[in-house]
Amino acid sequence: MTRERRRSSLQGFKDVFEGLWVPPRLRVKAAGNSHAGERANLLEHARSNSYTGGGGGEEPRESTFTENFFDLMYVLPMQNLFPLPIADARGLLLFCTYFATVFNTWLGEAFYNTRFDTDDVPSRVSTVVQMVCVAGMASGLARGLGAGDSTFALSYAALRTMLVLKYCRVALHLPAVRPIALGFIAGFTASIALWVGSALVPAERQITLALAGLALDYATPWLLALTPRFRMVPVHAAHMPERFAGFTCLVLAGSLFSVQMQMPPLGAVNDWALAPIYVSALSVAVPLSFLSLYAAGVGLPAAELGGFTLGRTSAKLRIYGYLYLHMPLALAIMVSSNAAFVGTGAAFGGAAAGGSGKLVLPLPPLSPAARSLMCGAWAVATLMLGAVHALGGAQDSGGASGAEQQQQQQQQQGYGSSDGVAQQRAELVAAKCRVRQRRSKLQRLALRVLSATCLALLPSVLGASSVSVYMTAIACVHMAQVLATAFRKRRFVAKAVRAQRRGSQLFANLAGADGGSPGGGNPISEQWPPPYYRGLAEAPAEGSAASGGSGAAAAAATTTAAAAAAAHGASGK
């Protein structure tokens, strides 16, 4: 009895502490315990091309509460970046350096979490320490680099040291990815040494060592990715875009905060007016419209994730290009937020203008530097958004890869061998799908370039106008892009419905020429259209009456084709 009680007590102790210490593991397919088993499993997962954002070989992933709270800590450094003056090229360089440094701390943690994090107690403790370091970086931005203050540099070095310790755990517990983990440890440790050195040298040399350390931090993942002997660890196709989208939302929310921080209370103005309310509404409309544009094409190129692990250079460049382009995108939004902070403060007598808090009408014009920064930064952000969408795969992963998978399945099942003409027509339909998607991407990129050109020309068109006029013009340009994108998507949906109708009939004829499937069904017509077009074709059924009619007609055509093929197979028996 005593032995059983001891055994139950020990089991209860294990149950209480189960999950508190979980070693890092690959957040893809479950890897084996041996080095050869882990590497073989990793390569099998890459070759299977099953990166579907939670399906296939990936476990479902969502951002944890620890990750979300860690992201919220970056409100502190962003809030302290708004008042930094950008009066000349040196001020702009310092601003870009500060934000690139802050962004790199978040980026390193995001890459580690999506690949290895198990959210155990050591990971949470290290995340708490990193949050303290983020707060230290925010407090060090008041003096920054080159002023003899080492708070910012030492806080950054301490945060990156915690990341290096996490990669040491990875190298200890995962022999399959030990080479790439050791590469990260070597590069990041050298960067930490440069940052610590920048805190010890005289003030005039701090910025030089800090820039060298930051360049090494950004270059290390790229050097390892482009080295053939290193097989990169895959990133999660659903979790990683979710993290980047969350950080982009945080930066866009900062654009709203930068204006609201300078708005005077209505009771403190000398005459009640609609100007503060109107500018407050614009501070919501500008980031919200840009967020709608960003959400229209977010997503990793899932078809390239297998090649990313297997070592294809083009796949590595596309994946890393998509992820790292979020840094200049967020930086441009922050620069425009800084200009809006200064311009709103000058207009409403806030802290930046050193005024008395009283509203003076009409609003004073923006300074030449502020209006150039505001419009130029939004132009750069629009261009970066176009590049992110061009490299991303949310709009192209379903159609092209789905058509290719259908062709492979047809060859494996023996369909299309007796009627070469029908098979060629099926391949032609799949090729048209890919061409239509590429054309859609080019049109969207051309729209972004045109919008960026309009934003860049606003200072010369509007001239010495107030902050409300410039924010109105920027919001109008963003809303015009939103409307153009919605119109293009509606046309694309209509084309998808027509392609579904033609494709269903074509595949029904193809199956009928081959005598149908052994069980009397028609697997080929069931595979058409590709997943991407199927989702687009079903979407209008929930919208307007015209769209619903098209979707119903397409669904009826698909059902009729499948029934005809089944009847043909039954008569063949």
Query: For 94-128, how does the pLDDT look when each residue is reduced to its tens digit (9 = 90+)?
Result: 899 999 999 999 999 999 988 888 777 888 889 99
pLDDT score recorded for residue 345: 80
pLDDT score recorded for residue 355: 46
Q: Which of 108-122, 134-148, 338-352, 399-413 has the lowest mean pLDDT?
A: 399-413
Task: State how far the Cα of 359 lies from the Cα of 510, in Å rounded to an integer.
Answer: 74
Find the distance separating the first CA and the last CA of the chain, reported in whole Å: 70
Query: In sequence order, which residues have a C-beta less than 8 Å from that of residue 130 and are 6 or more positions away?
Result: 70, 105, 109, 159, 162, 163
415: DSSP letter: T
pLDDT score recorded for residue 225: 82
pLDDT tens digits for range 271-306: 556 778 888 888 899 999 999 989 887 777 665 665
Tell me what percent of the residues of the chain surpass a pLDDT of 90. Answer: 26
For residue 412, give the amino acid letter: Q
Q: What is the mean pLDDT of the chain?
A: 73
pLDDT score recorded for residue 110: 92
Structure-token match 């089944």, residue found: 566
143: DSSP letter: T
Q: How many helices (H) and strands (E) does the chain have?
A: 21, 0
pLDDT exceeds cutoff 70 at 548: no
> Which range in 24-28, 135-139, 260-264, 415-419 is most confidently predicted, on average pLDDT?
135-139
Token code pair at residue 224: 């390892």
Structure-token match 């930066």, residue found: 251
Name the residue with higher pLDDT: 550 or 124. 124
Tell me what percent of the residues of the chain surpass a pLDDT of 70. Answer: 62
Q: What average pLDDT does this structure show over 426-442?
A: 73
| CB 322 within 8 Å of CB 237 | no
What is the pLDDT confidence band of residue 375, given thresholds at 50, 70 and 90?
very high
Q: Which of 86-100, 414-428, 471-485 has the lowest mean pLDDT?
A: 414-428
pTM: 0.75
Exposed (0-12), middle (13-18) or buried (19+): which is 410, by Cβ within 10 Å?
A: buried
| CB 202 within 8 Å of CB 147 | no
pLDDT exceeds cutoff 70 at 2: no
| Domain-wise residue ranges, the chain | 61-233, 237-404+432-492
Name the residue with higher pLDDT: 271 or 538. 271
| CB 326 within 8 Å of CB 247 | yes
